[in-house]
């Protein structure tokens, strides 16, 4: 498993100052993982890949932003072209790229990361425009067992990690949203943890800083569809929002018809996901 370097926010300037001489002296470039809409977990959302690149370039350090496909490609990402990989997304990682990342590290490449990296594998599968942070023992896929329409999203959680599914980012266009979904617990303990098993609307500021999250809990009763709903007030500084389903408990769950309906004084906006 790659070596991780952990540093607190206040230590970042000192870290880079101490590290800069060796970066400037070496010729190879720095690779920075950058994947639009890739799920973050346990990472500071204000630590943007592009901002890191601008910071390094200001000191004359050459660097490239590489997406998940490029990290998985030995021709695009290897220890001959890059001597450091900066990984700012926290625990999540693209599973398809992990073997090439291991090869990079085994051949002398260094990795700078935050949180507990490389413990939440992510695969590009399931519902369109949704990202998944699931363990190797978990499953997320569309199935023909819908509440409405043709499909719903099926999740099976058996791992000890958090299981997260995440929507694309949306522009904030209202002060209050009615946030709802239909869910069906099939088996296990899902819903018994009222804090850990929830559907969240998350709020993001101008610089991508995380402002908070609110949303309804998953009911624990099994075997039938339940409608869950909550009116959520959006913080004033919010510029972007997204939706996540977070599961801490193990079991099986179906979710369908996730909906945002704008309320309040601002322009009416809505989003609806049928899987």
CATH of the domain at 41: 3.40.50.10490
Domain membership of residue 28 (yes or no) is: yes
Q: What is the pTM of this model?
A: 0.57
What pLDDT was estimated at residue 7?
A: 39
Domain membership of residue 118 (yes or no) is: no
Domain membership of residue 120 (yes or no) is: no
- Asked if 23 and 88 sit in the same domain, the reply is yes
- Asked if 183 and 82 sit in the same domain, the reply is no
DSSP structural state of residue 274: -
As a whole number, mean pLDDT of residues 19-23 equals: 47
- Asked if 253 and 205 sit in the same domain, the reply is yes
Q: Which of 113, 136, 161 is the last residue of a domain?
A: 113
Which has the higher per-residue pLDDT, 119 or 75?
A: 75
In the structure encoding, which two tokens stand for residue 211, read together? 């402002």
Task: For residue range 100-142, list pLDDT tens digits in order.
Answer: 999 999 999 999 998 888 888 876 655 566 777 777 778 888 8
Q: Which of 63, 89, 113 is the last residue of a domain?
A: 113
Confidence of residue 2 (pLDDT cuts 50, 70, 90): very low
Domain membership of residue 68 (yes or no) is: yes
Which has the higher per-residue pLDDT, 19 or 91?
A: 91
CATH of the domain at 193: 2.60.120.200
- Asked if 77 and 131 sit in the same domain, the reply is no
| Burial tier of 221 (Cβ tally within 10 Å: 0-12, 13-18, 19+) | exposed
- Asked if 149 and 238 sit in the same domain, the reply is yes
Tally of CB atoms within 10 A around 1: 11
- Asked if 90 and 133 sit in the same domain, the reply is no
- Asked if 49 and 146 sit in the same domain, the reply is no
Question: Which residues span the domain enclosing 155?
Answer: 125-273
Domain membership of residue 148 (yes or no) is: yes
What pLDDT was estimated at residue 125?
A: 54
Number of domains the chain contains: 2
Say what percent of the chain tops pLDDT 90.
47
- Asked if 106 and 141 sit in the same domain, the reply is no
- Asked if 176 and 234 sit in the same domain, the reply is yes
Q: How far apart are CA 200 and CA 217, in angstroms?
A: 9
Q: How far apart are CA 239 and CA 138, in angstroms?
A: 32
- Asked if 67 and 203 sit in the same domain, the reply is no
Q: Which of 113, 140, 173 is the last residue of a domain?
A: 113
Which has the higher per-residue pLDDT, 61 or 46?
A: 61
Q: How far apart are CA 84 and CA 186, in angstroms?
A: 45
Domain membership of residue 1 (yes or no) is: no
What pLDDT was estimated at residue 245?
A: 92
Task: For residue range 164-202, list pLDDT tens digits in order.
Answer: 888 888 889 889 999 999 999 999 999 988 888 999 999
As a whole number, mean pLDDT of residues 242-254 equals: 92
Whether 3 shows a pLDDT value over 50: the answer reads no
Q: Is 28 left (phi over 0), alpha (psi -120 to 50) or beta?
A: beta
Render 5-18 in DSSP notation, one character per residue: ----GGGHHHHHHH
Whether 47 shows a pLDDT value over 50: the answer reads yes
Domain membership of residue 216 (yes or no) is: yes
At 187, is the secondary structure helix, strand, or coil? strand
Whether 268 shows a pLDDT value over 70: the answer reads no
- Asked if 76 and 159 sit in the same domain, the reply is no
- Asked if 39 and 139 sit in the same domain, the reply is no
Q: How far apart are CA 96 and CA 253, in angstroms?
A: 26
What pLDDT was estimated at residue 4?
A: 39
Q: Buried b vs exposed e over 160-194: b needs ≥16 C-beta within 10 Å?
A: ebbbbbbbebeebbbeebebbbbbbbeebebbeee
As a whole number, mean pLDDT of residues 201-227 equals: 92
Query: CB-based contacts of 126: which residues, under 8 Å, 6+ apart?
Result: 132, 140, 141, 142, 153, 165, 275
Domain membership of residue 229 (yes or no) is: yes
């Amino acid at each position: 498993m790659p070596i991780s370097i952990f540093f607190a926010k206040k230590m970042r300037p000192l870290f880079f100052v101490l590290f800069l001489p060796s970066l400037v002296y070496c010729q190879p470039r720095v690779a920075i993982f950058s994947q639009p809409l890739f799920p973050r977990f346990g990472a500071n959302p204000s630590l943007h890949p592009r901002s890191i690149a601008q910071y390094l370039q200001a000191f004359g350090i050459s660097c490239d932003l590489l997406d998940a496909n490029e990290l998985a490609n030995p021709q695009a990402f290897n220890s001959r072209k890059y001597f450091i990989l900066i990984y700012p997304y926290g625990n999540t990682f693209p599973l398809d790229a992990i073997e090439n990342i291991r090869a990079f590290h085994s051949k002398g490449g260094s990795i700078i990361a935050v949180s507990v990296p490389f413990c939440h594998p992510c695969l590009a599968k399931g519902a369109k425009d949704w990202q998944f942070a699931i363990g190797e023992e978990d499953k997320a896929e569309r199935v023909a067992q819908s509440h409405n329409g043709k499909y719903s999203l099926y999740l099976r959680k058996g791992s000890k990690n958090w299981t997260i599914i995440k929507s694309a980012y949306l522009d904030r266009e209202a002060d209050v949203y009615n946030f709802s979904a239909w869910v069906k617990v099939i088996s296990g303990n899902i819903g018994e943890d009222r804090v850990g098993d929830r559907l969240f609307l998350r709020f993001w500021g101008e610089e991508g800083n995380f402002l908070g999250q609110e949303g309804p809990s998953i009911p624990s009763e099994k075997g039938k569809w339940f409608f869950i709903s909550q009116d959520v007030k959006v913080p004033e500084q919010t510029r972007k929002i997204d939706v996540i389903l977070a599961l801490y408990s193990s079991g099986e769950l179906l979710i369908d018809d996730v909906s945002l309906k704008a309320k309040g004084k601002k322009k009416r906006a809505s989003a609806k996901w049928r899987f």
